[in-house]
């Protein structure tokens, strides 16, 4: 039974969203501004102040807390500076989301925007987005399945009757002298 409880706990931990390591989550930054028409300008830098040049940077707008439509690829107008236009999916406040895939990781900046109101340049940290099924989670899930399967097999192979008394112990629970 403890192994089954461990398997349930392992599955519960697998379902919890993973948080990136603090040092790895803060390795890219952006200076982002949005004008009244929804044109977004982002200057992307690394932790050492170097410009992030020649990358595919995607931009999309989504209702606050909602789903986004198709992304727009931002054009690089200067080294490390990207520009694109965010089209809000419906009237009302929305979020501008900038995605950068770099080194196998997805980095994201999210900026809340009111339609028709300019957002002055802000210095923002790019958060690292964890994939839904990372290798660590897949291996963790596989270990939980093996643990649960082993528990079921062990319980089925257990003898049905009482355990036989050994030669050194009595049925009353002591040691014979």
Topology (CATH level 3) of domain 20-129:
Immunoglobulin-like (2.60.40)
| pLDDT per position as a tens digit, 68-86 | 778 999 999 999 999 999 8
Say which residues have a Cβ less than 8 Å from residue 133's Cβ, sequence separation at least 6.
none
115 versus 168: which is more confidently predicted? Answer: 115
Return the sign of the alpha-carbon dihedral for residues 155, 157, 158, 161.
positive
Q: Where are the domains of the chain?
A: 2-10+133-156, 20-129
In this prediction the pTM is 0.61
Whole-number percent of the chain with pLDDT over 90? 34
Instruction: For residue 20, name the pLDDT band (cuts at 50, 70, 90).
Output: very low
For the chain, what is the HEC assignment?
CHHHHHHHHHHHHHHCCCCCCHHHHCCEEEEEEECCCCEEEEEEEECCCCECCCCCEEEEEEECCCCCCCCEECEEEECCEEEEECCCCCCCCEEEEEEEEECCEEEEEEEEECCCCCEEEEEEECEEECCCCCHHHHHHHHHHHHHHHHHHHHHHCCCCCCCCCCCCECCCCCECC
Rounded to 10 degrees, what is the CA torsion of 34, 117, 25, 129?
-90
């Amino acid at each position: 039974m403890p192994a089954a409880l461990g398997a349930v706990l392992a599955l519960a931990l697998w379902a919890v969203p993973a948080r990136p390591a603090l040092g790895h989550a803060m390795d890219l930054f952006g200076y982002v501004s949005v004008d009244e028409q929804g044109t977004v300008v982002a200057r992307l830098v690394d932790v050492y102040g170097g410009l992030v040049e020649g990358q595919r940077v995607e931009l999309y707008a989504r209702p606050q807390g909602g789903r986004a439509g198709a992304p727009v690829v931002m054009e690089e107008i200067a080294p490390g500076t990207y520009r694109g236009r965010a089209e809000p999916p419906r009237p009302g406040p929305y979020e501008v989301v900038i995605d950068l895939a770099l080194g196998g990781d997805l980095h994201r900046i999210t900026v809340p925007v009111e339609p028709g109101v300019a957002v002055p340049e802000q210095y923002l940290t790019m958060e690292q987005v964890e994939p839904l099924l990372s290798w660590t989670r897949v291996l963790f899930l596989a270990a939980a399945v093996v643990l649960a399967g082993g528990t079921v097999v062990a319980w089925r192979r257990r003898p049905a009757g009482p355990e036989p008394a050994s030669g050194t112990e009595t049925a009353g629970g002591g040691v014979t002298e």
